[in-house]
Chains A and B, each alone.
Chain A
Amino acid sequence: MAVLGSLKTFQGGHYFGLFEGTPRGRRLSNAPLPKRVTIFLRQGFSAEVAPLVQVGDRVKTGQVIGVNEPNPQRPSTPVHATISGRVTVIEKQPHPLDGQPTLAVTIESDGKDEWQFLQRPAPNYERLSAEELGKILYDAGVTSGGQAGFPTAFATAYGLPERMRYLLINAIETEPYFEATDQLLYEEFDKFINGIKILRQALGNVQVHIGLGYNKPRIYEELITRLEYYDWCTVHQLLPKYPQGEDAVLTRTLIDLLVPKGGYVTDIQCVVQDVQHCVAAYEAVVEGKPFVERVISVAGSAVKEPKNLRVRIGTPIAELLDNNICSKAARIVLGSVLHGRDQQNLDLPALKDTPAVVALKEAEAELMPVAGPGFDRDSFTGAYVSLPWLKIKRANTSLNGNERACVRCGYCLDVCPQNLFPAMLGEYCANHLVSDALNIDLMACIECGLCAYVCPSKIPLLEQIREGKRHALEEVST
């Protein structure tokens, strides 16, 4: 019998308003087949893999175009072509996530979309062993979601020698604009449930904890009905507070385990998967489809019509935003607007772990923007009047003035989900006092970006802390 979890949450965090241009409740639609895709041979956390194809080769959708020997030290997955066509370019390009030059394969579509499925799809997955399932997941290139993008196969019996203890399902989306995964949960519920079963089996029959937003009572009841007779499953209802979906926060909230400083959830024998990757696991094992397509929200204040799309991985941002963007200058952010990167080059593609492409209107000069009740403003403070029936908020991209000296208001401490002292961390990091910063738990920061979001002095705390972490890692390695 599934254990009924109670309403859980964590200290700190912030409930974001519903920003204008959020595709809430829009049904998933298939994006038109891209004319050209650029596929990076490094996805998320994984190591870069060696290309298997050459310029001029014809490839099919789902064909492996890059692979490394499986190696738990440097985990990687095979990389698949996501459309059928001809390879035109293989060269190093700046990776959209960190700007590092990374080998990328560009494929021109032939418009036919011929598929090459996995060799051993297994509709009766219950009969397969953990190793076999792990192999299929590896071949399909399923990675875990979130920032880490850790290849799932390496958490399974196929990859790591040590056993995992928990599988956590992140079915709560708390970031602004990320609506596609929620929509996937509604539309592909069966695949989601079976995906969880597959992943659990591949991890060696571990305990499963599902974190679900409490604002989805229908899904909750459905989950309880379907999973009622399994003693390995607990469904928790969580308050939809950002950053509930971050690995460290989810682990703490659901099973009360602390992720080590500077470590990953796999260090405490946990695997975190989100809805998209559960569905991908199902499609890989049962339908034999490699992970070449994911759901992406096209959202933001500069988008004419916000959408939730099924998109081939590697589709250039420009094609996703095609004709759907206001003519005004916009800032394009791949992934999270809180800790993602803005993209100048719109030829760069969406990746395996990109839940959204957000286009934000650039702020323009306003007369006395801080005066007035501010019904449409999102704020951690109560300094603006919010009315319950006016839910749509304006995304504020302006800094409300220059960066000021810290006035020590303490908001960053109040929102920090990791219970850190961001103002002091930022100050230390900006002054290169790395050892002092490490003393107050610099490495425990999960870079959710909330401290910089709420700062009334508009201090770039997130950037300062990231810089400090980079320095700290360099010092360790030298």
Chain B
Amino acid sequence: MKKHIFLTSFVFAFIAEITMLVIFAVQKTGNWQDSVMVNEIVQSVKENWDKIEDYKDSTGISYTVIDNGGTVLYRTGAGLSESINEAVIHRDTILNIEKDGIIAGKVIIYNNSAQEIKLWKHKVFTVMLAAVFVQFIICLVYIIYLEYIIIRPFYKMKSFAERIAGGNLDIPLEMDRHNLFGAFTESFDIMRAELKRAQAAEAEANASKKELVAKLSHDIKTPVASIKAASELGAALAGNDSVRESYLQIEHKADQINTLVNNLFTATLEELKQLSVAPCDIESRELKEMLEGSDYLHYADIPVIPECILYADKLRLQQVFDNIFSNSYKYVNTKIDVNVLMEEGRLKIIIEDYGGGVSEEELPFLKDKFRRGGNVKDIEGAGLGLYISDYFMREMKGGLVVGNGENGLEVTVVIPLSGGI
């Protein structure tokens, strides 16, 4: 609809412009002489020839009256031709005044066509300028409209897609049905929600598998312990060396099974180590955009970031910030303070909410695997966010420090400067 408004108004302005041009092209410019008025002038001059010095013109036309000797007898105003020569140059109309059949003098009617043309040109210029200005305004409004309807939503979607690629499915895509991407936006967000659900289901399935492995390992360990105990007893009571050797062999194999079961359990928890972290040099000014992207509810004022080159994996760092902000949104939902500190070759981003923090007993375990704080209630979560964030930051040779600040939980993201370590 809006596109049609633009096209209609643009075509309308264009047609108006063409119409104006046609009107001006066919319009008479007033470059003609009123012969009746001219005759009237000649007639009245003739009648008043003897008292020409007292003569008063009533036609409003500019002219000069001269006698045969070239003397100006009368003129309606200044700046008019005062001789035949001047009149010829200026293309004025020259008429004879006949008195008693003899030419007594001449009336020079002023030719004002140059002024008329000048006026006409000025009019055309003003109208064309106005039309071009209107077209410019229409284009400008349309460009601004395109910026809002296409470019901004496109960049929003780009950042959204990067988050999805980075595995962050928590942050929804703002929907706006008024822009061209409205329908896509909704579909993308549905996709995100579906992916999140699928991921949660997968995590649940994995957790069940882990539970199964844990249960099986426990179940296997019990009979293996019995076999070990029985073989120990058998070895102690064996009548000859060969039998004792066999019992010891059984005991040794039981130990091996125990170790393998332990390894199997540990291996399931070590899967996290598969997440790759590839730090490189990035400019600190990129942090501001990342923090603003993570704080999508705009609870924080992002401060000025000191200029420097950092050594970090942008994707993983964004995930760390996303995790910290989404945790704060989920568990306390208060305003957030963000402060920046540069010290000892590191840049520290200190993020603190106003939720009162966590108990001192819980603090040391917050970054542990599958560990969640006492304030989780029935809020969805796996207890892996801070564990993974901490892992990412350590891989970047930085760190993640969790503590209680003055107002709430304070998470400090420590990012190394390039060459600072």
Binding between chains A and B: no
Chain A residues in contact with chain B, CB under 8 A? none
Chain B residues in contact with chain A, CB under 8 A? none
